Amino acid sequence: MRIDCKHVWDYISDYIDGEVDAELRAEIDRHLETCELCSAILDSTRNVVVLVADDRVFELPAGFSERLHQRLERELTT
């Protein structure tokens, strides 16, 4: 059975996380070999997922940890 593009998009997230079964993965892989559109959607989604995971994107406010542990220390010593 040949799957269509919409079907591939529905499973992109699970595909990236390795949570599709072997049969579906093989079908998606076959589709991707010949579909530039879905390949680009998959690659760009995966790229976005990798980029947002970088610690430089979300950093704790300056001094957050120090202030937290100072407050905690006051609690621990009372």
Partner 1 sequence: MKSAPNPEFEAECIRRILQGEKHLFHDLIRPCERPIYFLLNSLLRNEAEAEDAAQETVIKAYRNLANFRGDSQFRTWVLSIARNEGLGRIRKDQSRREDSLDALMDEQGGDYTPAFLTSWREVPMEALERKELGETLRKAIEGLPAIYRNVLLLRDIEEMDVKETAAALGITEGSVKVRLHRARALLQRDLAPRLKGFAPKRGRLFGWGA
Site of interaction with partner 1 (CB under 8 A): 9-10, 12-14, 16, 19, 36-37, 39-41, 43-45, 47-58, 60-61, 64-65, 67-69, 71-73, 75-76
Crossing angle (nearest 10°) for helices 36-52 and 22-34: 120
Tell me the closest approach of the beta carbon of residue 72 to partner 1, in angstroms: 6
Tell me the closest approach of the beta carbon of residue 58 to partner 1, in angstroms: 6
- Please choose, from the candidates 7, 35, 33, the residue with its C-alpha nearest in 3D space to the C-alpha of residue 20: 7
Of the pair 26, 51, the CB lying nearest partner 1 is at 51
- Please choose, from the candidates 3, 60, 48, the residue with its C-alpha nearest in 3D space to the C-alpha of residue 29: 3
Tell me the closest approach of the beta carbon of residue 32 to partner 1, in angstroms: 12
Neighbouring residues of 53: CB distance < 8 A, sequence distance ≥ 6: none
